[in-house]
Amino acid sequence: MVIIQLAGGLGNQMFQYALYLQLKNLGREVKIDDVSGFEEDALREFALAPFGVTYEQPGKKELQTMLDSSMLPWERVRRKLFGRHKKSYFEESKLFLPEVLEWDDIYLEGYWQSEKYFQSVADQVRKAYDTERLITWLQGEGFWNGGDGQDDSLAGGKRKSAAQYLQEINDTCSVSVHVRRGDYLTPENQALFGGICTDAYYIEGIRRMRELYPQCRFYLFCNDREWRGSGIRGEAGMERVTLVGGKRHVDYAEFVLMSRCKHHILANSSFSWWASYLNPYPAKTVFVPDRWLNGLDCRDCYRGDMQKIVPGTET
């Protein structure tokens, strides 16, 4: 048996579930632990429910066996004397490890951020992450057709509903620009994420998009609701930028809208990685930073349809 731990945000969980689908396709007995990974992470929770995904869950005894976590007195004494003997692997490298697809009797902890972990079931993965299903869920929750009523000159007066944004995105040469802030800016995360997706990166990406598609319009997505991105908007041309968001635009709505844009300027984020992956537009252009994380070899995070940008260089 293989048990995969769900952890992290929406994009990371999508990678973990994609690995689950790959292992199932290989005929393995595989289950998903959707509890342990969130017990000590107050910022994250199970996020795949709106997709309607299904999977098997391990029982309590199965988890205790894998993690050597039984609370029986003699088991606790044994661990004190001889140490814990977990049947687990924690992903340390960001490189694709083909042996992961062959292991058995193991508990997998990691993000598995490479399409190489699920290439042979890519169609099944895309079907599982059907954004039309997300729209149906958002409509049922009241997060799709209603605007939030906020004044916003960038959105043309009152900020629009997700349905209105989608109509615009479908009708234009739309380019998503994903700016990740929030937890990326905390001191403990700066060493890993800092200095990669700078204003210079976005400005260079916008310049190149305008060269390729002179009539394009940019749609900015950011997890910081107070951020206005004046430098980036100034480069793109204020009249050609829509800042998407608002109190009623939950992550799922923004994910759908991002995925429906024709082209993309990504953050080093699994959220926009997946949005661009699910974009069905055959001629899409996807710009990405030349580094994904600081200090780690992330070559397998990149897809063949991505173009790296080093600010100040020509394509």
Mean of pLDDT values over 63-88 = 63
User: How many other C-beta atoms can be found within 10 angstroms of the C-beta atom of residue 18?
Assistant: 25
- The three state secondary structure string of the chain is CEEEECCCCHHHHHHHHHHHHHHHHCCCCEEEECCHHHCCCCCCCCCCHHHCCCCCCCCHHHHHHHHCCCCCHHHHHHHHHHCCCCCEEECCCCCCCHHHHCCCCEEEECCCCCHHHCHHHHHHHHHHCCHHHHHHHHHHHCCCCCCCCCEEHHHCEECCCHHHHHHHHHHCCEEEEEECCHHHHCHHHHHHHCCCCCHHHHHHHHHHHHHHCCCCEEEEEECCCCCCCHHHHHHHCHHHEEEECCCCCCHHHHHHHHHHCCEEECCCCHHHHHHHHHCCCCCCCEEEECCCCCCCCCHHHCCCCEEEECCCCCC
pLDDT beyond 80 at 65: yes
pLDDT beyond 50 at 263: yes
CATH number of 131-309: 3.40.50
CA distance 11 to 15: 7
Q: pTM to 2 decimals?
A: 0.89
On whether the CB atoms of residues 249 and 134 are closer than 8 A, the answer is no
pLDDT score for 230: 61
Taking only the tens place, the pLDDT of each residue in 151-190 is 454 444 556 899 999 999 999 999 999 998 656 556 666 7
Q: Report domain extents, the chain.
A: 2-125, 131-309
Query: Confidence class of residue 241 from pLDDT cuts 50, 70 and 90?
Result: confident
- Ranking 27-31, 188-192, 295-299 by mean pLDDT, the lowest is 188-192
β-partners of residue 4 are 32, 108
pLDDT score for 226: 60
Q: Which residues contact 170 (CB under 8 A, 6 or more apart)?
A: 260
CA distance 111 to 93: 10
pLDDT beyond 70 at 84: no
For all residues of the chain together, what is the average pLDDT? Answer: 86
